[in-house]
Chains A and B, each alone.
Chain A
């Protein structure tokens, strides 16, 4: 007979085996071997942590009490898996694209990375998980007690054994679940271990079932007869419970933190869902295949009043089949441990990411970026929270008295966790779902669940009997188990119906009434349309981010090695040669996802936000929210804008380059021109002065002629130097203006006469003197200089046979506009932009001046507050002079 000591030894050996498997799987995954670790089969088997000790022991108990009703708990998940195309596919895609670490993280992420919401879901998950943990404790304790009854030593005491089971499971879960920090990374070890446990529990249950059917009852036919003849042989369907439980188990299957962990977080390939869609229901079917036979045989064989929850153990024991009983015990034990490992992992991740880290971060605020070793803080938080969760389960077990049927405890947990469903489904399929809606819905459902199910379930310790009977303050319509006076409902059906329906109503109404934040709308679009764009476009503006601070923070979270590798890879990707990558938005986004794998989306967002100085929900992001296709449109339009900008810049550069080249050429030609201009008069001056010095007997007439030549050449030199001086004075702005008043007409008169004086008068000047009677208040001499220049230019360059210059003047609202147009061939277009430049001369061959005239004109006009421009399209060369009627200092 198996003694307690042997039992404990077997348990320990089993745990050691699990550790060995996990360790080996981790090693294989790290070495890159073992593709089967990521196979659909392992994925499917890991999903079967859905089958806990409740399934293993409780299903039989449930069947012994209410017939086929136990099967509802497996039909719900079957329907969910079969409809994977509708829901799970999206859930998994969202989870993978957002690097979600837990269901709280998913909800928080969807509703604008709200940590409040994450805290709510975490608390709900912890409280909802508590009865579930208690259930595992109870089942293990019960199974121990069965063996203890037979143990002659009699050392077994129930109270202390529960404690030791709880403590043992806590240590186990801590050792198993908190080895790696990154909750988002695939835990190959854990997943493989729980896959093994799935096989063990299935094998154990099938073995007991086969033993019962063929060993005890003697085949399928006799078994069926025995079933019909038993006390549960006539099955009455409770329609309410049937539908409610199918729905409830389907909801819980999606919302349970541990299911989310294996289904979404640990998912390696979306395609695995397709296999799991049939393989997991098959597993469930096999698990429940022998439940009724075991229950019926147990009811037959076992004495009146024995606990049907333990038939799986007691039936083989009563038949003297100790080894089968031991196998069955291992099966139950592995159901409990796998559930506890994954639940502890999932819940502790949620607690540390959403409760501990935000608090810890807020205490760290102000002391630089992030100080201290975050890594240790996170790990410690996870370990402590596992211990706390186990302690909660322990206390629930003690408070509920440990007497309840396993199935009813499990259903309490299911009803609690299902309150997440409206927010989850709404978030995945309805863009209009808001944070407020989710918060209100969750709160309503959660409170109703506590009030109508959890508190009454815990007996008279937390809620008095009078409240149960008559409602609080004797308000009958608020009785916990008969809300609004509707009596006679099954308590479970009552709770599920009211809490989920009111939860959904509150969620919808609050969502409709509230307005989401930009980030929320962005995330909403990301989630609902995840198949359209799986890449999240939320941007960080990294201009102010300090790469070094980011590096320090990342090291503290990921550990020095992984962080350095990550940054180094980033540097290489950016092609930089420095030690740290540039904080580009893309890099910050990747970093945030990397960190969110360790500390959750909300915390990672907050931490990077602390260093970078705020996320940018920019106008572009809002555009993306406004329209699903806006993202692509916007991106391409951005590209278009950028390319237009680039081509504009390139054109400007080309123009500038051409101009610079021209200027440089002109400068060169001007320098040679100037040297030439200076040299020619200088040569004549020198030559003639040498003649006058060296030649004797020059006639007076010759002397005068030579002296006149020298004089003329000297004048030419002076004029050239005057021009240069004039221009430099004008350009430097040191010119002093001599403002006086006169009419335009007299200024033009003077200019025309002085420009044409001493020349052959070949140029005909056409004026309409009537329109020139405009009074001016400006520097008349300088203005005259401009006019003279323009007129003499026309005289010099007009190539018509009968050169003509038309001068017309207009008064245009406070400004006078004077056009000078000749009838020549004009200035070629390519030279137009250059005519006002210094040293510019159209056609080097037509040497006349030094090319400073128009440059001086432009400078003068600027000084006078006007402008001079070339006027194209007038037949010949035309210039427009524009200046204010009255010179004002401000015009400068």
Chain B
């Protein structure tokens, strides 16, 4: 009797789990899609630095290099992480009908 009642909820739970999984995947792909805008914003920061017209001294080149290359490496890393995470999630979640969102 009790097993008979237990069965339906346990049958539902995995689908809940899948829902959440694909939900996370959607949000992950959202983040990946937003990444270029974030990157563009970061790379626009140097525009705020002093330019040649003012009397101010320029930015020390070593700091500029640090900043730019750090942003760059960050972008690459984020892209790498998103790529791998999306692929791993795509492997786990085969029931997702909209495979087109992340083509394999």
With an 8 A cutoff between CB atoms, is A246 at the interface?
A: yes
Q: Write the B45-86 contact mask toward A (1 if CB under 8 angstroms, else 0).
A: 011011110000111111011001100110111011001001
B83 to chain A, nearest CB (A): 5
Q: Is the CB of B46 within 8 A of A237?
A: yes
Q: Is the CB of A68 within 8 A of B51?
A: no
Q: From residue 67 to 84 of chain A, which have CB atoms closer than 8 A to chain B?
A: 67-68, 71, 75, 78-79, 81-83
Q: Select the residue from B47, B69, B72 with max chain A CB neighbours within 10 A.
A: B72
**Candidates A68, A79, A289, A292; contact of B40 at CB < 8 Å:** A79
With an 8 A cutoff between CB atoms, is B7 at the interface?
A: no
**Candidates B29, B35, B61, B79; contact of A235 at CB < 8 Å:** B61
With an 8 A cutoff between CB atoms, is B1 at the interface?
A: no
A-B pairs, 9 with minimum CB distance: A83-B36, A234-B58, A236-B52, A278-B80, A278-B79, A236-B58, A224-B62, A274-B83, A235-B58
**A75 nearest CB neighbor, chain B only:** B43
Complex contacts, B20 vs chain A, CB 8 Å: none
Q: Is the CB of B36 within 8 A of A79?
A: yes
Q: From residue 209 to 227 of chain A, which have CB atoms closer than 8 A to chain B?
A: 224-225, 227
With an 8 A cutoff between CB atoms, is B44 at the interface?
A: yes
Q: Is the CB of B51 within 8 A of A233?
A: no
Complex contacts, A224 vs chain B, CB 8 Å: 62
Q: Is the CB of B100 within 8 A of A531?
A: yes
**Candidates B50, B68, B69; contact of A236 at CB < 8 Å:** B50
Q: Is the CB of A79 within 8 A of B64?
A: no
Q: From residue 264 to 319 of chain A, which have CB atoms closer than 8 A to chain B?
A: 270-271, 274-275, 277-278, 281-282, 285, 289, 292
Bound-state CA distance A71–B73 (Å) is 13
Known: A224-B62, A228-B61, A278-B79. A285 touches B69 (CB 8 A): yes
With an 8 A cutoff between CB atoms, is A85 at the interface?
A: yes
Complex contacts, B100 vs chain A, CB 8 Å: 531
Q: Is the CB of B36 within 8 A of A86?
A: yes
With an 8 A cutoff between CB atoms, is A664 at the interface?
A: no
Q: Is the CB of A236 within 8 A of B33?
A: no
Give the secondary structure class of A's interface: helix
With an 8 A cutoff between CB atoms, is A239 at the interface?
A: yes
**Candidates B61, B73, B83; contact of A234 at CB < 8 Å:** B61
With an 8 A cutoff between CB atoms, is A89 at the interface?
A: yes
Bound-state CA distance A243–B57 (Å) is 21
**A93 nearest CB neighbor, chain B only:** B103
A130 to chain B, nearest CB (A): 30
Q: Is the CB of B39 within 8 A of A238?
A: no
Q: Is the CB of B61 within 8 A of A277?
A: no
With an 8 A cutoff between CB atoms, is A232 at the interface?
A: yes
With an 8 A cutoff between CB atoms, is A242 at the interface?
A: yes
Bound-state CA distance A180–B43 (Å) is 43
Complex contacts, B36 vs chain A, CB 8 Å: 79, 82-83, 86
Bound-state CA distance A67–B63 (Å) is 12
Q: Is the CB of B76 within 8 A of A278?
A: yes
Known: A83-B35, A270-B103. A237 touches B73 (CB 8 A): no
With an 8 A cutoff between CB atoms, is B104 at the interface?
A: yes
Q: Is the CB of B76 within 8 A of A281?
A: yes
Q: List 14 A-B contacts (CB under 8 A).
A: A78-B39, A78-B72, A82-B75, A232-B61, A234-B61, A235-B64, A236-B50, A236-B58, A237-B47, A237-B58, A239-B51, A246-B43, A281-B76, A282-B76
Q: Is the CB of B47 within 8 A of A243?
A: yes
B35 to chain A, nearest CB (A): 5
Q: From residue 18 to 35 of chain B, which have CB atoms closer than 8 A to chain A?
A: 29, 32-33, 35
**Candidates A71, A235, A277, A282; contact of B59 at CB < 8 Å:** A235
**Candidates B60, B62, B73, B103; contact of A285 at CB < 8 Å:** B73
**Candidates B33, B51, B75, B76; contact of A237 at CB < 8 Å:** B51
Complex contacts, B73 vs chain A, CB 8 Å: 285
A residues touching B (Cβ–Cβ < 8 Å)? 67-68, 71, 75, 78-79, 81-83, 85-86, 89, 224-225, 227-228, 230, 232-239, 242-243, 246, 270-271, 274-275, 277-278, 281-282, 285, 289, 292, 531
13 extra A-B contacts, CB within 8 A, seeds A75-B43, A82-B35: A67-B64, A68-B68, A83-B33, A227-B61, A227-B62, A228-B60, A237-B49, A237-B51, A278-B76, A278-B80, A281-B72, A281-B75, A282-B76
Bound-state CA distance A239–B35 (Å) is 23
A397 to chain B, nearest CB (A): 32
Known: A78-B75, A243-B44, A246-B43. A277 touches B62 (CB 8 A): no
Bound-state CA distance A79–B36 (Å) is 6
Give the secondary structure class of B's interface: helix
Complex contacts, A232 vs chain B, CB 8 Å: 61
A376 to chain B, nearest CB (A): 40
B residues touching A (Cβ–Cβ < 8 Å)? 29, 32-33, 35-36, 39-40, 43-44, 46-47, 49-52, 57-62, 64-65, 68-69, 72-73, 75-77, 79-80, 83, 86-87, 100, 103-104
Complex contacts, A246 vs chain B, CB 8 Å: 43
How many A-B contacts are there with CB distance less than 8 Å? 105
**B71 nearest CB neighbor, chain A only:** A75
A494 to chain B, nearest CB (A): 17
**Candidates A68, A83, A234; contact of B65 at CB < 8 Å:** A68
Complex contacts, A85 vs chain B, CB 8 Å: 29, 32-33
Bound-state CA distance A620–B95 (Å) is 35
Q: Is the CB of A277 within 8 A of B83?
A: yes
**B45 nearest CB neighbor, chain A only:** A237
Complex contacts, B79 vs chain A, CB 8 Å: 81-82, 277-278, 281
Q: Select the residue from A232, A275, A277 with max chain B CB neighbours within 10 A.
A: A277
A231 to chain B, nearest CB (A): 10
**Candidates A75, A271, A289, A292; contact of B61 at CB < 8 Å:** A292
B30 to chain A, nearest CB (A): 10
B51 to chain A, nearest CB (A): 5
Q: Is the CB of B75 within 8 A of A233?
A: no
Q: Is the CB of B50 within 8 A of A237?
A: yes
Q: Is the CB of A292 within 8 A of B65?
A: yes
Complex contacts, B86 vs chain A, CB 8 Å: 274
**B35 nearest CB neighbor, chain A only:** A82
Complex contacts, A75 vs chain B, CB 8 Å: 43, 68, 72
Bound-state CA distance A227–B66 (Å) is 12
Bound-state CA distance A82–B73 (Å) is 12
B73 to chain A, nearest CB (A): 7
Bound-state CA distance A81–B35 (Å) is 11
Q: Select the residue from A234, A235, A236 with max chain B CB neighbours within 10 A.
A: A235
Bound-state CA distance A406–B78 (Å) is 33
Q: Select the residue from A78, A243, A274 with max chain B CB neighbours within 10 A.
A: A274
Q: Is the CB of A238 within 8 A of B51?
A: yes
B88 to chain A, nearest CB (A): 12
Q: Is the CB of A285 within 8 A of B76?
A: yes
Complex contacts, A236 vs chain B, CB 8 Å: 50-52, 58
**B66 nearest CB neighbor, chain A only:** A224
**B104 nearest CB neighbor, chain A only:** A271
Q: Select the residue from B60, B65, B77, B83 with max chain A CB neighbours within 10 A.
A: B65
**Candidates A82, A228, A237, A239; contact of B39 at CB < 8 Å:** A82
Bound-state CA distance A270–B51 (Å) is 42
Q: Is the CB of B62 within 8 A of A234?
A: no
A718 to chain B, nearest CB (A): 84
Bound-state CA distance A225–B80 (Å) is 32
Bound-state CA distance A366–B97 (Å) is 53
Complex contacts, A277 vs chain B, CB 8 Å: 79, 83
Bound-state CA distance A575–B104 (Å) is 34
**A74 nearest CB neighbor, chain B only:** B72
Complex contacts, A531 vs chain B, CB 8 Å: 100
Bound-state CA distance A234–B104 (Å) is 47
